[in-house]
């Protein structure tokens, strides 16, 4: 596996096609394109993952602990780390749900333009074609690809098709494949980002004008009608769309060294535990942490709660303060995990019966592909609409937060009700039945002849054409 930032062309054998992955630097986005690298490399196609030095470090650590990667696949994946100028990350704002403290990190990616172009030019000398798959938020970085004759770009769209389809529908008001009454309740896009991030997005969009196709971490068995909507010529023109997800494995193998959370889950009854995790960028106030803790305690149900320092804007190694005596009182039925937790394996465990989530698409599709209903608590970006897709369209979740009242505290009562609904009610059983039916279709879709496998085969055939 390569990791230096000066590519030696001779170090890589000639190939018909090489793929260059250019992920955005937010953790969920990095994860998605790492999973996609695994899928592409399974076709014996060399994949080169490029990012800033700091983020490649994160990806590498995940890659080595990524038990779903077989050795023959991982030998096709090469990492390239490029330095960016130093920047300062301010502490998170607990009053703003959007992770504005990460903006300097986002802005630093603009410095990757020239090294990434140099890498692609070098690879274009040893390959008949270079297929560059880039996050939609890295369009600025890959703008020079259009000047390389045997290279072409494919945009990875991190949100679900529903998010993009509903946004387009709002602008045009044309016929839409969902009941109009439902769409009139669609969460607004007010407050989903910051002015600085909006400027960053506008810059990226100004360079979105020469890609050949778009890839989604979704499946036609989950979002078929919305993918077909986006495929209309008046929307996508001649741009091809492939829904090749879920990118994450849908059958999770037990890892060699099982995490303590999994050992604890082994002792719990089926569908009796709620997994509580809000991704890597969520910041809560002390009041909100307290309400969440009280709600989990009052529910009397079993839980695993991943409490990261970022959840309260605490420094990297600081501790989030939970209500006094909380951990003692819930001992035995509640696990508080303050470090990394193996989310996919937890969701795939038979004891896990619900997932309280921020509705990042990465987490949402992992929950779908493991057959776990959700309690939706969106924070920013595409999350309010992802939550709406889960609760109102697919019927596999219970809403905890009304987006139009997003500035209000989510009370302990709401937390308690959501947990009880998922784990101990007829409504929860119905959601579980629906998501289990859906996961059956998802698992079939990634097998030979299934909808997602056909899409992946189609994409690979296209780049090998």
pLDDT at 94: 62
Say whether pLDDT at 6 is over 90. no
Mean pLDDT, the chain, as a whole number? 90
Distance (Å, rounded) from C-alpha 308 to C-alpha 289? Answer: 11
Overall average pLDDT of the 372-382 stretch: 96
The more confident residue out of 396 and 257 is: 396
- Active-site position among 80, 134, 135, 168: 135
pLDDT at 26: 86
Of 71-80, 220-229, 274-283, give the range with the top mean pLDDT. 220-229
Q: How confident is the model at residue 260 (pLDDT cuts 50, 70, 90)?
A: very high
pLDDT at 317: 44
Give the torsion sign (CA, 122, 125, 126, 131): positive
pLDDT at 302: 98
Overall average pLDDT of the 239-253 stretch: 94
**pTM above threshold 0.85:** yes
Percentage of the chain lying above the pLDDT 90 cut: 73
For 464, the token pair is 């090998």
Q: Which helix (H) or strand (E) holds 133?
A: strand 127-135
CB 134 within 8 A of CB 22: yes
pLDDT at 325: 95
Say whether pLDDT at 136 is over 90. yes
pLDDT at 315: 43
Beta bridge partners of 153: 132
Distance (Å, rounded) from C-alpha 51 to C-alpha 34? Answer: 12
Catalytic site includes residue 317: no
Distance (Å, rounded) from C-alpha 268 to C-alpha 303? Answer: 10
Say whether pLDDT at 4 is over 60. no
DSSP count for the chain of H helices, then E strands = 19, 13
The more confident residue out of 238 and 219 is: 219
For 195, the token pair is 């002015």
Catalytic site includes residue 29: yes
Overall average pLDDT of the 389-397 stretch: 97
pLDDT at 2: 44
Overall average pLDDT of the 150-172 stretch: 95
Q: What is the dihedral of CA 433, 437, 439, 440, to 10 degrees?
A: 140
pLDDT at 82: 92
Query: Between 286-299 and 412-424, two packed helices, what is the crossing angle to 10 degrees?
Result: 40
CB 370 within 8 A of CB 439: yes
Q: How far apart are the first and last CA of the chain?
A: 27
pLDDT at 10: 55
pLDDT at 28: 84
Overall average pLDDT of the 182-187 stretch: 92
Say whether pLDDT at 327 is over 50. yes
Q: Write b or e for each residue in 209-229: b if 16 or more Cβ atoms lie within 10 A of its Cβ, otherwise e.
A: eebebbbbbbbbbbbeebbeb
């Amino acid at each position: 596996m390569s990791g230096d930032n000066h590519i030696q062309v001779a170090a890589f054998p000639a190939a018909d096609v090489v793929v260059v992955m250019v992920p955005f630097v937010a953790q969920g986005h990095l994860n998605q394109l790492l999973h996609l690298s695994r899928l592409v490399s399974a076709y014996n196609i060399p994949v080169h993952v490029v990012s800033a030095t700091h983020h490649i470090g994160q990806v590498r650590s995940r890659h080595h602990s990524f038990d779903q990667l077989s050795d023959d696949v991982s030998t096709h994946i090469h990492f390239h780390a490029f330095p960016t100028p130093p920047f300062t990350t301010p502490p998170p704002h607990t009053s703003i749900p959007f992770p504005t403290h990460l903006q300097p990190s986002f802005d630093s990616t603009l410095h990757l333009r020239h090294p990434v172009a140099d890498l692609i030019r070098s690879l274009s000398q040893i390959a008949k074609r270079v297929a560059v798959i880039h996050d939609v938020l890295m369009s600025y970085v890959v703008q020079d690809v259009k000047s390389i004759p045997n290279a072409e770009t494919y945009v990875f769209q991190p949100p679900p098709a529903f998010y993009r389809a509903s946004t387009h529908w709002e602008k045009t008001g044309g016929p839409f494949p969902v009941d109009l009454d439902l769409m009139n309740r669609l969460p607004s896009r007010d407050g989903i980002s910051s002015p600085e991030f909006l400027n960053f997005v506008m810059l990226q969009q100004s360079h979105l004008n020469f890609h050949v196709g778009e890839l989604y971490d979704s499946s036609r068995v989950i979002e078929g009608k919305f993918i077909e909507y986006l495929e209309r010529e008046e929307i996508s023109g001649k741009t091809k769309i492939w829904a090749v997800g879920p990118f994450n494995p849908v059958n999770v193998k037990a890892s060699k060294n099982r995490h303590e959370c999994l050992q604890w889950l082994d002792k719990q009854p089926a569908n009796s535990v709620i997994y509580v995790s809000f991704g890597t960028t969520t910041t809560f106030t002390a009041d909100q942490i307290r309400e969440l803790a009280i709600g989990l305690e009052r529910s009397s149900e079993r839980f695993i709660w991943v409490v990261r320092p970022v959840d309260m804007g605490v420094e990297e190694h600081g501790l989030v303060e939970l209500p006094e005596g909380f951990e003692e009182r819930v001992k035995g039925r509640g696990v508080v995990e303050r470090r990394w937790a193996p989310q996919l394996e937890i969701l795939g465990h038979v004891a896990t019966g619900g997932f309280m989530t921020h509705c990042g698409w990465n987490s949402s599709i992992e929950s779908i592909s493991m057959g776990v209903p959700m309690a939706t608590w969106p924070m920013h970006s595409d999350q309010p609409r992802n939550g709406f897709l889960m609760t109102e369209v697919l019927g596999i979740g219970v809403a905890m937060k009304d987006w139009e009242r997003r500035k209000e505290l989510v009370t302990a009562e709401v937390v308690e009700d959501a947990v009880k609904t998922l784990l101990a009610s007829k409504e929860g059983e119905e959601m579980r039945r629906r998501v289990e039916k859906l996961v059956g279709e998802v698992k079939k879709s990634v097998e030979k002849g299934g909808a997602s496998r056909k899409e992946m085969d189609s994409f690979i055939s296209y780049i090998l054409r």
